[in-house]
A and B are shown apart, each in its own frame.
Chain A
Amino acid sequence: MQTGRQVNTEPNRRVNRLPGSKILPASRIALWLLPLGFLAIAFFFPLSRILTLTFSSDVLAPDVLRAVQEPLLFTFYQALLSTLLTLLLGIPSAFLFARFDFRGKTLLRALTAVPFMLPTVVVASSFNSIFGARGLVSFLFPLTSIQLSPLILILFAHIFYNTTIVIRIVGASLANLDPKLEQTARSLGADPLRAWWNVTFPLLRPSILAASLLVFLFDFTSFGVILLLGGSQYSTLETEIYFQVVRQFNLPLAALLAVIQLFCTLLFSIVYSRYASRLTQSAPRSASSSKPKTFKQKFFVASLCFMLSGFFILPLSSLPLRSFFRIEADRGQRSEVQYGFTTDYYEELFVNRRNSVFYVPPFQAIFNSLAIASSTVVLSLIFGFPAAFALAHPSRLDKLLDPLIMLPLGSSAVMLGLGFIITYGKWLASPLMVPFAHTLVALPFVIRALQPAIASIPQRLRQAASSLGASPVEVWKNIDLPILRRAALAAATFAFTISLGEFGATLLISRPEYPTIPVAIERFLSQPGGLNYGQAMAMATILMALTTISVLLIEKFRLPNSRGF
């Protein structure tokens, strides 16, 4: 074990550095090679092609500006409206969960969190199955023809999706609020309302704003919900990009819309990260919740619970319900309709009739989705780990590269797909296209999931291991890897779920031989007839089941102290 030479009077030798103290510049470059290389190929190069496409035609022509203005305004409008309504439901709910104990609290809270991880196709289908033209409501009340405006459906779906964000962010802030502050205010003479307005609310303002920004961002970039529920009148930037590509074939306009979209979301992301990073992360206080005591409190708790359960259970349950019940005729069916419980829609998924809208039996889509999701997991871990390592102990250069990694997050999924089409036309037939696109979408999430775990390993552990005789590789193998296993599993499940539900990009680039579940659902929904609709519902139910399982796994593997979602 003893190396070295005889003591001499000339000092000044350098000892080998080991990972964890300072990473050599050379190995840092190696770390960034994979993820940046991937991003360059999958994102930046196609983005440059899109930009050239944008400026290839007359961008400032008046009708172009008009074509841009409408979807832009509507996008802002519906996002704003959705956010406000979400706050309206979310803030009282946050209050409910932070301050009160009641039976079924954990269950209800988990229920409100379920929609967030559900694919947009599933959520849109759920609302469709209740309120759509062929939904349960129009079946149960055929004469009243409750035709909810598509805008209302969109708002509902958005609220459904994002209430949990408000509950989590504002709820965390509420839980950290020292109840003694309010009590002091009361003891100084403020009635409950004034105490709330003058003390509680100002302290909550930062978290409310942070939550609003995030919800606004999600609503702004919403695609599946708008596409499937919006009909042809309501078009946001995202769906307009899709329409311009697929229907109008006006690629320059689509590219222009995509660039505008990117610019907007970039702006919001910067504002959010600047702002949210200022949210102090104090240690979570012990629960300051209690059972409701006064009549007012009991009423509040009871009515809000009722509303929440109804609002969340209804769409989620009507989807499987609709998939197991026949309430309308198949397309072109003129014989007697057999109403009631049926497994036909599920059975039909295994069959590939000649006049089916699919190249392969729809059931194949499930395998495809699973296989694609698996590939996405592998790819995003391969690219994500090195980036997460570099960002966990960042040098100045790394801090600059951080926002680059996050760029695909704010980009329209449709734009990503468009980029692929116009850049890699020849390779579109390759089965790797869709996994690559999914990896692009999942990568920021994977990195964000791994980074805090890597950063949380104290240097001392590595130093202790080193002093005990572990070489750098052995340190990595025995310390980093086992501790990161949990985070890696959480990241993997993230990537898996995102891939399962990815809709926008896949819609553009998937090949007919390899449909995915969301694409299949969309095809079914765009066809008339009860059989097609029922199959759409069946597929959506299956997707809902798959996603729920993944989400449960994420919750199981998550690090106990991690923040965010």
Chain B
Amino acid sequence: MQHFHFLFFGFLFLLSSCAPAQPVTLTIMTHDSFSISEEVVASFEEANRVKVVFLPSGDAGSMLNKAILTKDAPLADVIFGVDNTFLSRALDEDIFEPYVSPELQNIPDEFKLDPSNRATPVDYGDVCINYDKAYFAGNNPPVPRSLEELTKPEYKNLLVVENPATSSTGLAFLLATVVHFGDDFDDYWRALKENEVVVVDGWETAYYTNFSGSSGRGPQPLVVSYRASPVAEVIFADPPIDDAPTASIDSPGSCFRQVEFAGILRGAPNRALAEKFIDFMLGKQFQEDVPLQMFVYPVNPDAVLPDVFVKYAQAPTQPARLSPAEIAAHRDEWIQIWTDVVLK
């Protein structure tokens, strides 16, 4: 009798795998931090008579690796969230189909890091150190004005960073130090370690558990976060406040520029719709939605930034940059050095 039931279930299962009869679905593979307004998605769905499904797949690195592992049987049509630190890997593994969107003409060249046009830039952000204004307002030491100052004893145990092996935010900061200090970046980190820098796995933990300036009211007033994080604090403050409780340290090379890309996966089942979606992502509506959803900046210069952004998150003077190729060549090595210095 039990055998019958098992066979029955097995049969049902196989049957369910064959049966579509749903509307056309466009699948977008994203990282876990992806966010988009319901209206924006709905407008695309209506215009193209399609259902859009988002597939959060871990952090940026895991997402990309998953896409690479399944490139012979892609999980989605479009992938969004490959950033410049991983771009080389994505291109080398050849997971994209090239597509030149007509909207690309508007986009400034500084973002077009892929000449083969397989990856299309969508947004950018800067990883900067945020500080808690309230903490530094009193008798406490002044706000550090450069990366070097963070090694000073008055800032002992006040900085929380993310592990670059597990967090792309942490990786961005590590890259900033590499750009700034060159080959001596390990000395810098040695000094930071002596200054009791706190290391956690991910940005969420660092910001919401360790940082004193967020709702978590943690112990550290300095955190590696994003240029737009102070804006988020203002927007979500309840009751409303009129000044950002936090801000970013802005000195040359202390922030690292991250650019996020999207691309059509090779073998995508819905190529035409995928192209339309890429165009849509570069269009004004999506680009203007991006800041308040993901707290990043639009690549499209025609997109109007919300006021809060303009007020509380100015562009950094000189963000640090590294070419994707260089990042790809040395990333593992740099992370290993960092791990040896900081974690051992």
> Which residues does A use to contact B, with CB under 8 Å?
63, 133, 231-233, 245-250, 334-335, 354-355, 357, 359, 368, 370-372, 374-375, 377-378, 421, 425-429, 431, 489, 492, 508, 511-512, 514, 526-528
- Asked if A425 and B13 make an inter-chain contact with CB atoms under 8 angstroms apart, the answer reads no
User: Number of contacting residues on B, CB 8 A?
Assistant: 50
Q: Which residue of A lies closest to B336 (CB)?
A: A63
CA distance in complex: A247, B32 (Å): 15
Q: Type the 1/0 row for B35-60, where 1 means its CB is closer than 8 Å to any CB of A.
A: 10010010000000000011111100
- What is the CB-to-nearest-CB distance from B199 to chain A, in angstroms, rounded to a whole number? 10
Complex CA–CA separation, A354 to B51 (angstroms):
11
Segment from B67-75, B247-255, B315-323 that makes contact with A: B67-75
B9 adjacent to A371 (CB under 8 Å): yes
- With A375-B13, A431-B17 already in contact, the answer to whether A247 and B73 are too (CB < 8 A) is no
A133 to B204, CA, bound (A): 13
- Nearest CB of chain A from residue B85's CB, rounded to whole Å: 13
The distance from the CB of B26 to the nearest CB of chain A, in whole angstroms, is 13
Q: How far is the CA of A372 from the CA of B6 in the complex (A)?
A: 10
- Which chain B residues numbered 190 to 209 have a C-beta less than 8 Å away from chain A? 201, 204, 208-209
Counting chain A CB atoms within 10 Å of each CB, the highest count among B54, B69, B165 belongs to B69
**Set of chain B residues within 8 Å of A354, measured between Cβ atoms:** 38, 41, 54
Min CB distance B18 to A, Å, is: 9
On chain B, the residues within 8 Å of A233 by CB distance are 343
Interface string of B20-39 (1 = CB under 8 A from A): 00000001000010010010
Q: In the complex, A335 Cα to B237 Cα: how many Å?
A: 11
In the complex, what's the smallest C-beta–C-beta distance from A319 to chain B, in angstroms? 23
CB distance from A229 to the nearest CB of B (A): 14
Q: Which residues of A contact B69 (CB under 8 A)?
A: 245, 421, 508
- Given A63-B336, A246-B66, 11 other A-B residues pairs in contact with their CB atoms under 8 A: A245-B65, A245-B69, A374-B7, A375-B10, A378-B6, A378-B7, A425-B73, A426-B72, A429-B73, A527-B32, A528-B208
Q: How far is B89's CA from A354's CA once the two chains are assembled, in angstroms?
A: 29
CB nearest to B37 among chain A residues: A354
Contact A249 B65 (CB under 8 A): yes
- Take A359-B55, A425-B70, A426-B73 as given contacts and tell me if A374 and B62 are in contact as well, using a CB distance cutoff of 8 Å: no
Contact with A along B229-269 (1 / 0, CB 8 A): 00000001010000000000000000000000000000000
- B272 at interface, CB cutoff 8 A: no
- State in angstroms the CA–CA spacing of A528 and B209 once bound together: 11
A492 to B3, CA, bound (A): 9
Please determine whether A425 and B72 come into contact, CB atoms closer than 8 angstroms.
yes
Which of B9, B204, B236 gathers most chain A CB within 10 Å? B9
What is the 8 Å Cβ interface bit string for chain B, positions 176-201, against chain A (1 contact, 0 not)? 00000000000000000000000001
Are B343's CB and A431's CB within 8 A?
no
Could you list 12 examples of A-B contacts with CB < 8 Å? A246-B65, A246-B66, A247-B166, A334-B236, A357-B32, A359-B53, A371-B10, A378-B7, A425-B73, A492-B2, A508-B69, A526-B58
Chain B residues near A377 (CB-CB < 8 A): 6
- Nearest to B69 among chain A residues (CB) is A421
- B314: interface (CB < 8 Å): no
Which residues on A sit within 8 Å (CB–CB) of B137?
Answer: none
Task: Tell me whether B169 is interfacial, beta carbon within 8 Å.
Answer: no
Chain B residues within an 8 Å CB radius of A526: 32, 58
Residues of A within 8 A of B70 (CB): 421, 425, 428
Question: Is B148 positioned at the interface, with any CB of A under 8 Å from its CB?
Answer: no
B73 & A355 in contact (Cβ 8 Å cutoff):
no
Q: Does B61 make an interface contact (CB < 8 A)?
A: yes
CB nearest to B66 among chain A residues: A246
Query: Would A334 and B6 count as touching, CB distance under 8 A?
Result: no
Residue of B nearest to A66 (CB): B336
Measured CB to CB, the closest approach of chain B to A429, in angstroms, equals: 4
Q: Across the interface, do A512 and B62 meet the contact criterion of CB distance under 8 Å? A: no
Taking CB atoms, residues of chain A closer than 8 Å to B13 are 368, 371-372, 374-375, 431
Are A355 and B35 in touch, CB under 8 angstroms? yes
Q: What is the CB-to-nearest-CB distance from A438 to chain B, in angstroms, rounded to a whole number?
A: 12
Answer whether A248 and B55 are a contact pair too, CB < 8 Å, given A232-B166, A431-B17, A512-B75. Answer: no
Distance in angstroms from B234 CB to nearest chain A CB is 13
Task: Identify A370's interface contact among B9, B53, B64, CB under 8 A.
Answer: B9
* Interface hub of A231, A335, A429, A489 (most chain B Cβ within 10 A): A429
Which 5 A/B pairs are nearest by Cβ-Cβ distance? A371-B13, A425-B72, A374-B9, A431-B17, A429-B73
CA gap between A375 and B166 in the complex, in Å:
36
Q: Smallest CB–CB gap between B223 and chain A, Å?
A: 15
A230 to chain B, nearest CB (A): 11
Chain B residues whose CB sits within 8 angstroms of the CB of A245 once the complex forms: 65, 69
Closest chain B CB from A447 CB (angstroms): 18
Q: Which listed residue, B10, B73, B201, B209, touches A374 by the CB 8 Å rule?
A: B10
Partner of A232, one of B3, B35, B163, B332: B163
User: Whole-angstrom distance between the alpha carbons of A355 and B193 in the complex?
Assistant: 38
B64 contacts across to A, CB distance below 8 A: 249
Closest residue on chain A to residue B57 by CB atoms: A512
Q: Roughly how many angstroms separate A133 CA and B57 CA in the complex, as a whole number?
A: 23
Report the minimal beta-carbon distance from B335 to chain A, rounded to whole angstroms: 9
Interface centre among A63, A355, A371, A492 (most CB of B within 10 A): A371
B146: Cβ under 8 A from any A Cβ: no
| Neighbouring B residues of A133 by C-beta, 8 Å | 209
The docked-state distance in angstroms from the alpha carbon of A371 to that of B35 is 32
User: In the bound complex, what is the Cα–Cα distance between A429 and B75 (angstroms)?
Assistant: 8
Indicate whether B116 reaches chain A with its CB closer than 8 angstroms.
Answer: no
| Cα distance, A334 to B7, chains bound together (Å) | 49
A425 touches B71 (CB 8 A): yes
User: Is A378 within 8 A of B10, CB to CB?
Assistant: yes
What A residues does B53 contact at CB under 8 A? Answer: 359
**Within the complex, which residue of B12, B61, B208 is in contact with A247, where a contact is CB–CB below 8 Å?**
B61
Q: Which A-chain residue is minimally distant from B9 (CB atoms)? A: A374
Is the CB–CB distance between B12 and A232 below 8 Å? no
